[in-house]
Structure 1
Amino acid sequence: MSVETYQKAKQIIQINGDMAEFIGGQTNELIKLAEEELGMKFTGLYLDYLQTFGAGNFGAQEIYGIINDNFENSSVPDAIWYTLTERKEMNLPNNLLVIYDTGSEELFCLDFNQLNGKEPRVVSFVPGIELEKQRYDVIANDFGDFLLDLVMQEVQL
């Protein structure tokens, strides 16, 4: 379980505030609205990220979350808008939530069908590849490990 890795990432972000540009924590009401829109329930580490940071970037790393309640007319780093768009345009499965775009071919998603305890694993999804040919490579055991890895990439530059 990586509550510890998530807390470490959160601490590094807060210590290096000059590198952080986040929307700010979102309300439980807005988070519930997003869950209803997507048909999924956020838990644990990612829920805390939404409540603490909302969405934004640390250095060059843009971590998607919730910006506002306009899920249809938004842009990155809005995970809800991006996920809904990918569902329509690229047949993204309903169990995936896009949280990061690599800038190349892959999107990194929380996979609510692959849980590590109660935490969804972070997997890759390649738009344009047929669903039965997707590999869903595990990028991180959970959001905490994923976030710490991104944060460490930035502070070690």
Structure 2
Amino acid sequence: MSEFSCEEVKKLINLNLGIIELGTSKDAVDVRWFEEAEKILGVKLTESYLWFLRNYSGGEIGGEEIYSIYGVDFETVNGGDIVYHHIVNQRSGLTKPDHIVVLETDLGEVFFFDYSEFDGKECPINLRLPSGDVEHYAKNFYEFLQRRIEVFS
């Protein structure tokens, strides 16, 4: 699969608005929330994921919510806030500290950033199947969005 850029993702999103429900840059939280999220998560958010948060704030593809940053206290927020889910997953022992879940499907699939392979800008997104097996899914968040859109288009 060739490397996907933010411009190509924008085009793909615009071509598939029937299956995609995203916010806008006007909905994005203040940059201070990104900094606080990084502090709590203990990682630097990837460039492609930050691009998504700044431009779309969050949303759904095919009815599946992509975790974002809600701009509400991370300990008490619910829903699809990525930091909240990481805190809960860590307390429950469901994920490793360097695995940050970005989407969970109703079929039991769990997509996560694998920060054990972070290169300073990006890291892959892997998929944990209901069987417990883990496989590589995307080299970065752009490719993740591309593949999730293709699943529903």
Q: 1:137 to 1:21 in 2, by over 3 A?
A: same
Kindly provide the amino acid, as one letter, of the partner of residue 11 in structure 2: Q
- Determine if contact 1:27/1:51 at 8 Å carries over to the other structure: no
Q: 1:50 to 1:93 in 2, by over 3 A?
A: same
Structure 2, unaligned runs of 5 or more: none
Kindly provide the amino acid, as one letter, of the partner of residue 8 in structure 1: E
Q: 1:125 to 1:88 in 2, by over 3 A?
A: farther
> What aligned pairs does 1:89-100 form with structure 2 within 5 A after superposition?
89-100=92-103
Q: TM-score, normalised by structure 1?
A: 0.79
Query: Aligned Cα RMSD in Å?
Result: 2.6
- Determine if contact 1:116/1:141 at 8 Å carries over to the other structure: no
Task: Report the Cα offset of residue 16 of structure 1.
Answer: 5.0
Q: Tell me, in whole angstroms, the C-alpha distance in 1 between the residues paired with 2:119 and 2:139.
A: 6
Q: Tell me, in whole angstroms, the C-alpha distance in 1 between the residues paired with 2:119 and 2:134.
A: 15
Q: Tell me, in whole angstroms, the C-alpha distance in 2 between the residues paired with 1:90 and 1:126.
A: 17
Q: What's the CA shift string for 1:86-144, capped at 9, x where partnerless?
A: 111134111111101022233110111124683110112468x9xxxx65321111111
Match of 1:13 in 2: 13
- Determine if contact 2:64/2:105 at 8 Å carries over to the other structure: no
75-84 vs 50-59, which moves further: 50-59
Q: TM-score, normalised by structure 2?
A: 0.81
| Aligned with residue 56 of structure 2, among 39, 53, 58 | 53
Identity %: 23
Q: Are residues 1:88 and 2:91 paired?
A: yes
Structure 1, unaligned runs of 5 or more: none
Kindly provide the amino acid, as one letter, of the partner of residue 10 in structure 1: K
| Aligned with residue 72 of structure 1, among 75, 93, 96 | 75
Q: Are residues 1:118 and 2:116 paired?
A: no
Q: Tell me, in whole angstroms, the C-alpha distance in 2 between the residues paired with 1:7 and 1:112.
A: 25
Q: Secondary structure at the match of 2:116?
A: strand
Match of 1:146 in 2: 144
